[in-house]
Amino acid sequence: MSRLLLLIPSTSYRVSDFLAAAHRLGVDVTVGSDEESVLNELSSSATLSLDFVVPDTAALEIEKFNASFPLAAVVAVDDVTSIIAAKASKLLGLPHNDPEAVAATGNKLLFRKRLHQFDLASPNFKSVSLDSDPDNLAQTVNFPCVLKPLNLSASRGVIRANDEVEFCAAFERIKSLLKTIGSASHPEIIIEDFIEGEEVALEGLMVEGKLTVLALFDKPDPLDGPYFEETLYVTPSRLLPDFQSSVKTMAEQAANAIGLNEGPIHAELRVNPKAQHSNETGPWIIEMAARSIGGLCSRSLEFGDGLSLEDIILRHATGASIVPDRETTASGVMMIPIPKAGMLERVDGTLEAQAVSGITEITISIANGQQVIPLPEGEKYLGFIFAKAETPEEVEAALRTAHAKLKFEIT
């Protein structure tokens, strides 16, 4: 029986979803993690303790494990483990992305440089040291602009500035965040032009350099700043077919430019259907990751024969790459935003929200008594709301109605 290795950090929501997919596929599974808490939870399964801080060391440990338990695939579930999976797969001679390409998706500066090298639509940018004087910098940038840490994900630390005062405040806020979390490995900030338009998220699978679109999500809530907290994802997209086709083309070109040829990708792009000129419509590449969608958002997707996104990822990784069409009904997810910082005391209204027509599941992922921090400093959501309906409009309405019924007591 084939064996695959799942690389799962302590912060992943998706342990059970990937394990269930592996069970359906009929393969043996080993879970590799850097956290004893994850390994202890899975004591009934084969586990492998790894050091995720040093990817080369982790890859060598996987190579040793493979000598006794041959692996058919090494599958990462997030940004942290993607580079390890690439390095280990290279050592084992398994299909993989170039580790340098994966590293580029985790560093916003390397990512922008690669896109500009291939002349793909991407915001103008420059990187600056955290030791720079923000007052002087503010006189050299075009407004509006967006300031970003180099290596944080999920819009953490991303702030828009419209003038010099906002620029200086954003710079100091990001600097403080990076010092607080000890992210000294990349002591820089990247400054980009702000791109107008509607943002979409593309979930795809690369097979020998060709992109199969698994889903294209609209993000109905405007993401104009000052922070960029993602909330609603709804599919199928309501963009016109021509725009959807151009989004796919741009995502495939970007993946090839970076060097992502195999496995799942998650891309964020902006298009501006209302623009006066074709060169303003985009699509523009904002982000791309060598992984599937984060959090529990994959539960909003279902494919032919009842397959999940995790089923498709594992089938591809083990060489049984069958990619059926997504279900015909519309679906979506709301990542429940954190309204303010404090301690979560209780959540009311879940039964009323669950009763809303079209709602399929509500998961509160932060326990009562836990501290909660909103963006741009925070990195989590309060939970997830899922919906299905005949049309994207009905899905969006159901998600908004259900969210309005939830009450969060935060002290």
Please list the pLDDT of the chain residue by residue as tens digits (411 residues): 689 999 988 666 778 898 899 889 888 889 898 876 555 555 455 889 898 989 999 999 999 999 999 999 999 988 889 999 999 999 999 988 999 999 999 999 999 999 999 999 889 999 999 999 999 999 999 999 999 999 888 899 999 999 999 999 999 999 999 988 876 556 899 999 999 999 999 999 999 999 999 999 999 999 999 999 999 999 999 999 999 999 999 999 999 999 999 999 999 999 976 654 455 567 999 999 999 998 899 999 999 989 999 999 999 998 876 778 899 999 999 999 999 999 999 999 999 999 999 999 999 999 999 999 999 999 889 999 999 999 999 999 999 999 999 999 999
Neighbour order of strands in the sheet with 232-235: 284-289, 263-271, 198-207, 210-218, 232-235, 330-336, 383-389, 359-364
Residue 39 lies in a domain: yes
Number of domain units in the chain: 3
Q: Are residues 86 and 146 in the same domain?
A: no
Q: Are residues 79 and 162 in the same domain?
A: no
Helix 55-68 vs helix 79-92: crossing angle, to nearest 10: 50
Q: HSE (CB half, 13 Å, CA atoms) of 345?
A: 7
Helix 15-25 vs helix 309-317: crossing angle, to nearest 10: 60
pLDDT attached to residue 262? 92
Of 97, 112, 147, the domain-final residue:
97
Q: CB-based contacts of 359: which residues, under 8 Å, 6+ apart?
A: 353, 385, 386, 387, 398, 399, 402
Of 97, 116, 144, the domain-final residue:
97
pLDDT attached to residue 379? 87
Q: Which pTM does this prediction carry?
A: 0.93
Q: What is the CATH number of the domain that holds 176?
A: 3.30.1490.20
d(CA 213, CA 11) in angstroms, rounded, equals: 27
Q: What is the CATH number of the domain that holds 407?
A: 3.30.470.20
Residue 8 lies in a domain: yes
Please say whether the beta carbons of 291 and 77 come within 8 A: yes
Q: Are residues 93 and 144 in the same domain?
A: no
Please say whether the beta carbons of 291 and 285 come within 8 A: no
Residue 93 lies in a domain: yes
Q: Are residues 131 and 79 in the same domain?
A: no
Q: Are residues 90 and 7 in the same domain?
A: yes
Residue 232 lies in a domain: no
β partners of residue 192: 125, 146
Residue 275 lies in a domain: no
- By three-state DSSP, how is residue 352 classified? helix
Please say whether the beta carbons of 28 and 47 come within 8 A: no
Q: Which H/E stretch holds residue 261? A: none
Residue 270 lies in a domain: no
Of 165, 193, 221, the domain-final residue:
193
Q: What is the CATH number of the domain that holds 55?
A: 3.40.50.20
Residue 75 lies in a domain: yes
d(CA 12, CA 71) in angstroms, rounded, equals: 22
Its domain, for residue 159, covers 124-193
Q: Are residues 411 and 341 in the same domain?
A: yes
